[in-house]
Structure 1
């Protein structure tokens, strides 16, 4: 208990230091900077602006409300990270969902790590932290990797070290940006998975790529069926839906046809259901990356 009180008192002391106009810490060389960096303070929400480098562009209102409810009951467990711009002005580096949820609740302060960083460092911190911790969709992750290449001048090998991902994983994400923007949007909206996108990349002609994408949506093709369709197209130059996929659809019981979309919408993937003649069956939830697996895990945990 004494340790917790000491930590809270330290936070109040740092808050007072930062609010003193005579101690306007803006660089690591300024007096008192060593007392700020690496410590947690209670920071006024009104002093914080959102990060223009934030790779996440979609914030689900329902999940934000759920986070707000959790914060109301338990508080902000993990502090946000900000960088100091000038006196009483800070910019988010990471933790925008916690920031937004706290504002929804009408809170006045939030626990925050204060960093001193320039624009380039802030961009790199924001991108790397979000790639590692946030539930970004595959296109958002790909765009974050591309920004690290374009704006921070990192090689794929350097990115692999920074974000703790295999170079091949980074390459697979970056290749998604070669897809037609319509298909990228479909992936961001959850109509197709990263596995579908990776299959479609092998089709170079844009109009054919869009034609196949339309068939995938129309027939709710699995990743495997999409790969078969593309393989047949490469052999015949004709976009034909695999007959096996149609047969499976025709043999699917009505109660599954009516309910499967609920599963697919919830998990953001085409869910595979197999039913035997005795009525017993199996539901398969696919995932296409570590991030995708963790996203599904969070959904299941949140439903308990």
Structure 2
């Protein structure tokens, strides 16, 4: 108990230090910055603004009330993290549920870690920490990954290192963003799981995606049922799809030569028994006749 009291007293002492306008800490090089950055400080809730980079866009009111009751009983066990904006002004990096719950029960202060960072660093910290610590739905996680890639300019490999996830896991989340927005909303509302979403990604046609989505909701289909339905939709006859045969250099070189000569992208389809097709597309009757003359060796 004495240890906890000492920590709280330290937090209050640092709070007083931050209230001194003559010693305003703006960078890690300023006097007393080492006493503040990385330590737990009691900050007034009214001096903290929410983070516009917060990936979570909706909060379950029941869960928030339960957290508020827990905080009322036990206090804020996990400090929030904030970024210093200016004198006595801070912005949330992570911990918005704790912040909201504390306001809900009328607390005036909250324990916080203070970081001095630019907007890009703040965005990265907010997204990475929320991905790791918050119970985000699959679409929110996917959006967070996409923002890290787009706005922090990370590759999937770099992102994998930052968040401690396999690259394949990250790729699976990102693929969910290709689903129809209605299906994405269904995932966010908990009507279907990530497994359902991963199965639906294999359907290219949006209307078909939505048809299967409705069946999932109406008949409460499992992920396995959904996978089977997708498989049947992609191959309605039940026939096995012929295995793709890789073309040898002879075929690929000839395909390029044909394409250059005919002015059309020619394709070659080859089966396992060595038989195949040479496919030459045309855009009109005139184009067909032009290609015919070239093949016959006549003058155009």
TM-score (norm 2): 0.77
Deviation at 1:12, TM superposition (A): 1.7
State the alpha-carbon separation in 2 of the partners of residues 24 and 107 from structure 1: 25
Q: Which residue of 1 aligns with 2:182?
A: 182
State the alpha-carbon separation in 1 of the partners of residues 220 and 8 from structure 2: 54
Q: Which residue of 2 aligns with 1:3?
A: 3
Q: Which residue of 2 aligns with 1:74?
A: 74
- Given the superposition, is the C-alpha separation of residues 185 and 237 from structure 1 closer, same or farther in structure 2, using an over 3 Å criterion? farther
Local SS of the residue matching 2:111:
strand
Q: Which residue of 1 aligns with 2:120?
A: 120
Q: Which residue of 2 aligns with 1:38?
A: 38
State the alpha-carbon separation in 1 of the partners of residues 237 and 215 from structure 2: 15
Local SS of the residue matching 2:235:
helix
**Mapped pair 1:47 → 2:47:** yes
State the alpha-carbon separation in 2 of the partners of residues 6 and 188 from structure 1: 43
Q: Which residue of 2 aligns with 1:222?
A: 222
Q: How does 1:92-111 map to 2 (within 5 A)?
A: 92-111=92-111
TM-score (norm 1): 0.76
**Residues 108-145 of structure 1, C-alpha deviations (whole Å, 9 max, x = no match):** 00011111111000000000000001000000000000
Q: Which has the higher contact order (CA 8 A, sep 6+)?
A: 1
Deviation at 1:4, TM superposition (A): 3.1
Deviation at 1:237, TM superposition (A): 7.6
Find the structure with the greater CA-based Rg: 2
RMSD over aligned CA atoms reads: 1.3
State the alpha-carbon separation in 1 of the partners of residues 138 and 107 from structure 2: 32
Between 1:6-15 and 1:168-177, the stretch displaced more is 6-15
**Residues 215-262 of structure 1, C-alpha deviations (whole Å, 9 max, x = no match):** 211211111111111111111189xxxxxxxxxxxxxxxxxxxxxxxx
Unaligned runs of 5+ in 1: 239-304
Q: How does 1:53-202 map to 2 (within 5 A)?
A: 53-202=53-202
Deviation at 1:35, TM superposition (A): 1.0
Q: Which residue of 1 aligns with 2:21?
A: 21
Aligned residues: 238
State the alpha-carbon separation in 2 of the partners of residues 121 and 54 from structure 1: 13
Unaligned runs of 5+ in 2: 239-300
State the alpha-carbon separation in 2 of the partners of residues 6 and 213 from structure 1: 56
Between 1:228-237 and 1:102-111, the stretch displaced more is 228-237
State the alpha-carbon separation in 1 of the partners of residues 158 and 191 from structure 2: 32
